Every structure is written in C-alpha cells, then in structure tokens.
Amino acid sequence: MSQSTTKQRFGYVALIGRPNVGKSTLINALVGEDLAIVTHKPQTTRHSIRGWVTEDRGQAVFVDTPGLHSKQSHALNQRLNRVATASISDVDVIVMVVDATRWTPDDERVLAKLSRYPGAKKILAFNKIDQLNDRAVLLEKTKALVAECAFDAVVYFSAKTRRGLDTLVDEVFASLPEGLPVYPADQFTDRPVRFLVAELVREQLMLQLHQEIPYGLAVIIEGYEDSPKRAVISALIVVGEDRHKGMVIGQKGSVLKRVGTQARLKIEQLIDKPVHLELHVKTRMGWMDDERELDQLGYAQ
Ligand SMILES: Nc1nc2c(ncn2[C@@H]2O[C@H](COP(=O)(O)OP(=O)(O)OP(=O)(O)O)[C@@H](O)[C@H]2O)c(=O)[nH]1
Ligand SMILES: [Mg+2]
C-alpha cells in the first residue's frame, strides 16, 4: 500500500504503574523533551501530563500519571491515585509500566485494576532492562502475568538507554484506532510553560531535600514577566509545617540558593533565554490534607 492510501492512526495512551517504575522517564523519551520531572524518589509525579508524538503514521497522545500506591497517608495522596485512575478510564491504550527487576504488591494492585477497562488495548511494558540480571525470572513472570490478564502485547525496553523503545512505539501505533492528528505537530504538550517551570522548581526540591520534606512541598508561580531578552519568574514554595521552612531555606539560604540555581538552568534550557528566578517560602499549615488548599494549588480532584 502506498503512503498516501495508508490510514493514519490517532488515540490516547495512558502510562500507568506504581511509583518509580519510570513512567515519566518514558514519556520524556517518547516525546523527546523533558516534559515530566524525574527523580529517584517515588511519588514524583502529581498531575496527569499529556505529551504527543506525531509521525507519518499518525499521532499518539501519551498521558503520564502519578504512580498508583497503597499508602494514602494524606488527602493529596488520595487525589494522586484518583488522577491516575481517571486517566485510564477513557483511553484507547493502557501501557502498564513495570520495573523488570522488581515486582511488588503495588504492581499487583495496578494489575487488578486493568480488567475494569475492557474497551482499551493493554500493553505490558517492562522497563529498566539495562539493570536486568536474570532473564529467566523475567520470562517466568511474563508468562504468569499474561495468564492472569489478557495483554495485547508485551514489550521489554529501557527508557534510560532507549533500547527497545521503537518496538513499544510500533505496538502503540498498531493498537490505536484510525484517525487524524488532533494536536499541533509543532507542539508536544498542552501544559503551559508556567506549569513546566513550577515542576522544574519542585524537581530540584525533591532532589535536594530529604526524608519526608520533599513530599510536603508544593510550588506555584506567582509572577512571570516575559520579554524577548529574558524572563523574570517568581515562584512560591509552600510548606505544610513551619519547621520545614528553615530546612528548605538552609543555613544562610544555602539550600534555596542551590535549588534556585539548578532550577534556573533547566528553565533557561526549556524557554531558551536567560531567566531571573526568585524563590519564596511560605507555610500553609496542613495543606496536604486541606481540600480547599489542594484546589487552590491546582491538584485535580
Ligand atoms: N536504570 C534505569 N533507570 C531508570 C529507567 N527508567 C527510569 N529510571 C529511573 O527510575 C527512577 C524513577 O523514574 P521516574 O520516571 O521518575 O518514575 P515514575 O514511574 O514516573 O515515578 P512516579 O512519578 O513517582 O510515579 C529515576 O531515578 C529514573 O532515572 C531505565 O530504563 N533504566
Ligand atoms: Mg513520574
């Protein structure tokens, strides 16, 4: 069949899985942009984020989701699970992302959800094969999982090294219905720059703060003045307890300074111009359990 008569495909593809399996790393690798923040800590992602890939054969709109987890210690965590579950309810393809080196009870819970979506094609996607030692164990696991759930395809890849990614993309396009692209080919996400900027600040906070502190932080952009030469951005870091404020600021402001510098460099890469970034810290007591605060901070219900 010639190119012109080949029907294009279009559809939505949710990436779901427990925290830390590499969903955000995967969407970035697929889209070819740093769209979703990535850290080595679980529960990094807090929003569903769409990023699309446009090719001659059509357009696949990937949806990154928060990691589904059983420890719902705060109202925020419950919202994150709801966001992830809502993201899979109306898609054409569900990609269940799994860490090829480790299966956990949280993976089991994600698997149990899949049967509720009989209308979607399902792909079992083993990530992190660059870290895999024992192929035999993985093949056994694959057999057991395929027996348990009717997957349409199984793929093995590394989002980090990109090995095997083409096969995943082929399987995704093969599973999409016919249709024409809906989103502009010269864009890659429907999230505004302000959102991506706030996330880049939160990424640095997640990386540079320890124990429970990064989980109790949120970032909002309070000011964004854009001119052709530079952007002046003011971001507010919200902490849920007064004692966290000093830790975020650090001795003589050292932590905040490091966070600001690293985040600024990444924001400059994103918007391709010099950035002046101001960071402020404010306590909003118990925001993680306050439904109104969660609304105001932009967390979906
Ligand atoms: N070795 C290796 N590490 C990977 C790979 N993919 C992701 N990682 C690492 O796994 C960690 C978690 O990656 P994320 O992409 O943030 O995982 P996530 O599933 O989005 O996590 P949540 O947002 O918390 O649900 C990071 O340290 C990544 O660098 C891979 O293919 N190989
Ligand atoms: Mg993530």
pLDDT in the model for residue 155:
98
Tell me which ligand sits closest to the C-alpha of residue 164.
1
Which residue segments constitute the domains of the chain, with CATH numbers given?
Answer: 3-175 (3.40.50.300), 193-296 (3.30.300.20)
pLDDT in the model for residue 73:
87
CA-proximal residue: ligand 1, atom 8 (nearest): 22
**Alpha-carbon span 176 to 91, nearest angstrom:** 10
CA-proximal residue: ligand 1, atom 10 (nearest): 22
- pLDDT, tens digit only, all 301 positions of the chain: 445 567 999 999 999 999 999 999 999 999 999 999 999 999 999 999 999 999 999 999 999 999 999 987 899 999 999 999 999 999 999 999 999 999 999 999 999 999 999 999 999 999 999 999 999 999 999 999 999 999 999 999 999 999 999 999 999 999 999 999 999 999 999 999 999 999 999 999 999 999 999 999 999 999 999 999 999 999 999 999 999 999 999 999 999 999 999 999 999 999 999 999 999 999 999 999 999 999 999 999 8
pLDDT in the model for residue 2:
47
pLDDT in the model for residue 1:
46
CA-proximal residue: ligand 1, atom 9 (nearest): 22
Map residue 1 onto helix, strand or coil.
coil
Q: Which atom of ligand 1 is nearest to the CA of 97?
A: 19
Looking at the DSSP bridge assignments, the partners of residue 64 are 15, 49
Ligand 1, CB within 6 Å, residue ranges: 17, 19-25, 38-40, 42-45, 66-67, 127-128, 130-131, 158-160
**Alpha-carbon span 285 to 142, nearest angstrom:** 46
Q: Check: CB of residue 69 under 8 Å from CB of residue 78.
A: no
Q: What is the pTM of this model?
A: 0.97
CA-proximal residue: ligand 1, atom 24 (nearest): 43
| Phi, psi of 155, deg, nearest 5 | -130, 155
Q: Check: CB of residue 282 under 8 Å from CB of residue 236.
A: yes
Structure tokens at 191: 């999230």
